[in-house]
Amino acid sequence: MIGIISAMQEEIQALLNELEHITTTKKGMREYYSGTLFNKNVVLVFSRWGKVASAATTTQLINDFNVEEIIFTGVAGGIKETLNIGDVVIGKHLYQHDLDARPFYNQFEIPILKNKYVATKNPKNLLKATEQFIGTYGDFISKTEANAFNITTPKAILGDIASGDQFISSIEKIKFLNDLLPSTTCVEMEGASVAQVCFEYSVPFSIIRIISDKANDNATIDFSRFANSIASNYALGILKNYFA
């Protein structure tokens, strides 16, 4: 069984539409949709926003659904000039940019684990599947929707991701992240917490992030529309290749 999580249902709606033999289980104010997706046994759930919500959802998946792998997919704000809307970041190292337990631990260091990040074990297979999707993304994304978000030549990269319980929308905050976590490519609110829980339970995990904005003062995108028409269909295409 593979667990698939998104922060918003819009981000996995296309996957839900393809899910077969569905069984729904309600736990902790969330609905877990078990079934078959591209001949794989999966369970889909949207966690809601933030590190606490995603950590609770991940723990529930591990303890109650016996998942052998967890994939988190959703949108993120790019903080590198080389990233554009519609690009995809496959997580390599997951940082918590709002974690600061000084003087007991170094800034960003996870207490007890004594590391500043959690690393994905084998992200290259997912990166390959994403690159395959990018080559045919027009089969999943309508030209009208792609044009609406100025998506023309999307790309996929393997990169570090920073998570925190705050929406990043200022140039000053981006500069702070670029200075202190220079390897990070994008920011979001769930990935590092999913990574930490999976690490502590020895469950393989992957993080897929579709760039929806530049995380700056001009971050005024229609998130609901982007999540539903772009991110959701990106996830569908990427996982179709990944599960093949």
pLDDT band at 220 (very low <50, low <70, confident <90, very high): low
- Percent of the chain at pLDDT above 70? 97
Residue 80 clears pLDDT 70, i.e. is over it = yes
What per-residue string of b and e applies to 80-107 under the rule 16 or more CB within 10 Å gives b? beebbbbbbbbbbbbbbbebeeeeebee
| Beta-strand relationship, 88-96 and 205-213 | antiparallel
Model pLDDT for residues 20-46, shown as the tens digit of each residue: 999 999 999 999 999 999 999 999 999
- Could you confirm whether 139 is annotated as catalytic? no
Indicate which residue of 31, 172, 213, 222 is catalytic.
213
**Average pLDDT, integer, range 214-225:** 70
pTM of the entire structure? 0.95
Q: What is the pLDDT of residue 167?
A: 87
Q: What is the mean pLDDT of the chain?
A: 95
pLDDT band at 215 (very low <50, low <70, confident <90, very high): low
Q: What is the pLDDT of residue 219?
A: 55
Q: How many helices (H) and strands (E) does the chain have?
A: 8, 10
Residue 221 clears pLDDT 90, i.e. is over it = no
Q: What is the pLDDT of residue 216?
A: 63
Domain 74-242 belongs to what topology?
Answer: Rossmann fold (3.40.50)
Residue 42: which of 71, 3, 12 has the closest Cα?
3
Query: What are 27's two structure tokens?
Result: 């736990």
Distance (Å, rounded) from C-alpha 51 to C-alpha 68? Answer: 21
- Give whole-number Cα distances, 92 to 99, 121, 149, 207, 213, in Å: 19, 8, 26, 8, 20
pLDDT greater at residue 217 or residue 157? 157
Residue 218 clears pLDDT 60, i.e. is over it = no
Q: Where are the domains of the chain?
A: 74-242
Q: What is the pLDDT of residue 119?
A: 98
- Could you confirm whether 160 is annotated as catalytic? no
pLDDT band at 217 (very low <50, low <70, confident <90, very high): low
- Percent of the chain at pLDDT above 90? 91
Residue 91 clears pLDDT 90, i.e. is over it = yes
Indicate which residue of 11, 87, 160, 190 is catalytic.
11
**Average pLDDT, integer, range 216-223:** 65
Q: What is the pLDDT of residue 168?
A: 85
Answer for the pair 163, 96: CB distance below 8 angstroms, yes or no: yes
